[in-house]
Chains A and B, each alone.
Chain A
Amino acid sequence: MMTPQEFGKIAKNPGSIALTTLPVLAYSRFGELCLELCKEGGRIAAYFARPLPQGDDLELFAIIARCWEGELLILRCTIGRSFPSLTPLCPQLHLFEREIAETYGVVPTGHPWFKPVRFHRPWRAGSDAWNRGEERPLPGEMDYYRVEGEEVHEVAVGPVHAGVIEPGHFRFQCHGENVMHLEISLGYQHRGVEQLLLGGPHPTSIYQLETVAGDTTAGHTSAYCMVLETLAGIAPSPRAEAIRAIALELERLANHVGDIGALAGDVGFLPTASFCGRLRGDYLNLTAEICGSRFGRGLMRPGGVGFALDDDLAARMLNRLHIIETETRGAIELFFDAPSALSRMERIGTLSIDDAEALGIVGLAARACGLTRDVRLHYPYGGYIETYDHCVIEDSGDVFARANIRRREIYKSLHWLKQSLRDLPRGELRRELPPLAADTLAVAMVEGWRGELVQVGITDAAGKFDRYKIIDPSFHNWSGLAMALRDQQISDFPLCNKSFNLSYCGFDL
């Protein structure tokens, strides 16, 4: 049993807690509590370290989401050069522990899959978890899982792929057409975002957050603004919050519509591929009507938003939405009404609910396996408070489920959007941001179109970021894609990949 003296609790989103009120546990107790909470249905939302001001030790933080209670529990402890890995008992920690090892050169002993994550030098000189020496590690250089046998072959793809997409390396262990195992090695897009944010907020920071994952600009920038605002002790006006939520839903619509088009293209159903390709642009153009940028650049600013959405513009957007809604429904229903297209998606790339839960899958990929995971539902924030009640769940976990989640979310989102544009609350666009609280940990969560975005900022005595942690849904979900590929035909990889449509740069940071 845990006692309230052993953890910190945040019950709102965004929320913060003073570091002085956060107890420091021994690692053994910290591990026990992590495992206990995860066994009781908790989920690792964030798990990261920061160096202590003196000495070699690190401070480790676990932020555990208890969704149905709507709260986050925060555990804290110190670790030395090595610590026993919790991954064997709690698989959703596997990447978090590897990330900590790569960043600070510490070793989680007994980690069953101990490989680099992004292939960069450790942040602290003279310590490398894999003893790779002073030379910069080469991307993709690690031991890959291999299946041996006379009839077994290996297919390696990337980093440069065939399409206009981001780079990553994929290795398939195949027996004939059948994929026995897929290993995904990323890091090619690593730009050092978290390192650049240290000592911030800097004037450059918001621009880097806008491009953590360019297709999730509204998502990542709203989470960042929420972290700053909770640290500064303010909240944006209801109108600014409504505009943010509108931008988030437009981002969801553009990406979901585009993804359905791309899935249709992958199975050779060209009418929908072609209609949705165009319609995706129409949603991006609506975002550009608000802020001039199709990707929402310049819209989210700490304290509120950078652009007005007046009643006149809202009315014009509503008119436009009415037209493109009809066209969107027409394009999508055509696809979901074609048995030949559906049979290409059903029972392909299935991820079981148990695997999804064990790996900590989030967002639409989790909802497609029957897991109810939606930040808007469990941790409502800003413009979603009291307006969001339409969490969409499917249970078959296959490509079809991930496509159908998108279809249903598109319709729900359109409905929500029209309602919100009609009832825009009043308020100023942007409020002045007071200085940030010192020695405080702040967490913000946003349901981006892929899933849960978590950002954690820890300030030092001067109110500057001593650590800033970004967790894109892709960080959890790439493992889901690898699992979904098991026992599939390798020719179905593009379809499975598109059904997840994960971010490379959001993972690589």
Chain B
Amino acid sequence: MLSIIRERIRQGHRTGKYPQEAPTLPARFRGRPIIDQEKCPPDCQDCLARCPFAALARRDNALQIDLGRCLFCPECATACPHGALSFSTDHRLAASQRQWLWTGEKEGQLATALHAKMLRLFGRSLKLRQVSAGGCNACEADINVLGTLVFDLGRFGIQFVASPRHADGLLVTGPVTENMRSALLDTYAAVPEPKIVIASGACAISGGPFANSPEVHNGIGDLLPVDLYIPGCPPHPYTVLDGLLRMLGRL
């Protein structure tokens, strides 16, 4: 008993100061990409050619990135000969609508709060059921991390529960394999109305690295109505937390 107390004192208090203080992330962490359109010549194709998932495109005469497809690898930034493209350490990426995931003037907007009725129901207590539908266990692992004492998800009134019947919504990871499609839909049907759906990770948003495989559905977009998109491969735990808190109108 004494040794437990001694160890407890040595390990110290570890719960982060988030959201009062911004998280410190590694210098090489790749969060929201920054594009300097001034430096980006319109006829250059170097970064577009380098992305095997077509996450970059020229839209409205500007280079834009679809964060829903982006795996946040360093290739496009490395390929840019003009220094126009780089990744910042900004972890805030989640959005309420699919098209907001495009970086651009009007898009690139962060997630907004649910509407008033839903906020009244879920704003102070949100129970989620997680479904991995072909997820590689990285998204799942970094969602589990939210339960550790560093993030302490419980202090925000958010909890992952064992049964969809006890849940207010689903958080889905993975590209939705054909073999998980019916289990995912059954789980969704078992959640009582009204309910929310969160697509977490590039796979659940767009199919991620497995986009267009004959065995997957390119994410949950065609199967379920999505309320929150959390980009990343996998999303950093702070990206997930930021998305959840924005959805609940806490940030």
Contact = CB atoms under 8 A, between A and B. Distances in A.
Contact of B180 (A159, A274, A285, A298): A159
Interface centre among B26, B132, B137 (most CB of A within 10 A): B137
Given A191-B177, A192-B214, A204 B209 contact: yes
Interface in B200-233: 203, 208-210, 213-216, 233
B104 interface: no
Interface in A368-402: none
Interface string B136-157: 1111111111011110000000
Nearest to B128: A164
Contacts of A162: 162-163
Contacts of B106: none
A277 B149 contact: yes
Overall SS of chain A's interface: loop
B71 A207 contact: yes
A133 interface: no
3 closest A-B pairs by CB = A214-B138, A214-B136, A292-B28
A307 B73 CA distance: 12
B147 A277 contact: yes
B135 interface: yes
A70 interface: no
A91 interface: no
B14 interface: yes
Contact of A119 (B11, B143, B179, B203): B179
A189 B209 contact: no
25 contacts: A120-B215, A139-B180, A160-B131, A164-B140, A167-B133, A188-B179, A188-B180, A189-B132, A189-B177, A191-B210, A193-B210, A195-B214, A210-B209, A258-B141, A277-B149, A278-B11, A278-B148, A280-B145, A289-B26, A291-B28, A307-B28, A327-B10, A330-B11, A331-B7, A505-B135
B59 interface: no
Interface string B170-205: 000011011110010001000000000000000100
Contacts of B147: 277
A403 B137 CA distance: 21
B154 to A, nearest CB: 12
B135 A297 contact: no
A contact residues, range: 35 or more
Interface centre among A212, A214, A258 (most CB of B within 10 A): A214
Contacts, number: 182
A494 B162 CA distance: 14
Contact of A292 (B3, B29, B132, B150): B29
Interface residues of B, number: 63
A162 to B, nearest CB: 4
Contact of B74 (A202, A292, A295, A504): A292
A504 B215 contact: no
Contacts of B144: 163-164
B74 A191 contact: no
Interface of B: 3-4, 7-8, 10-11, 14, 25-30, 52-53, 71-74, 87, 130-145, 147-150, 160, 162-164, 174-175, 177-180, 183, 187, 203, 208-210, 213-216, 233-234, 236
A297 B183 contact: no
B209 A294 contact: no
Nearest to A285: B26
A354 interface: no
B4 A334 contact: yes
Interface in A200-219: 202-204, 207-208, 210-215, 217
Given A162-B163, A214-B141, A275-B7, A505 B134 contact: yes
Contact of A187 (B136, B150, B179, B213): B179
Contacts of A291: 28
Contacts of B214: 192, 195
Interface string A146-174: 00000000000001101111110000000
A288 B179 CA distance: 33
A214 B137 contact: yes
Nearest to B51: A203
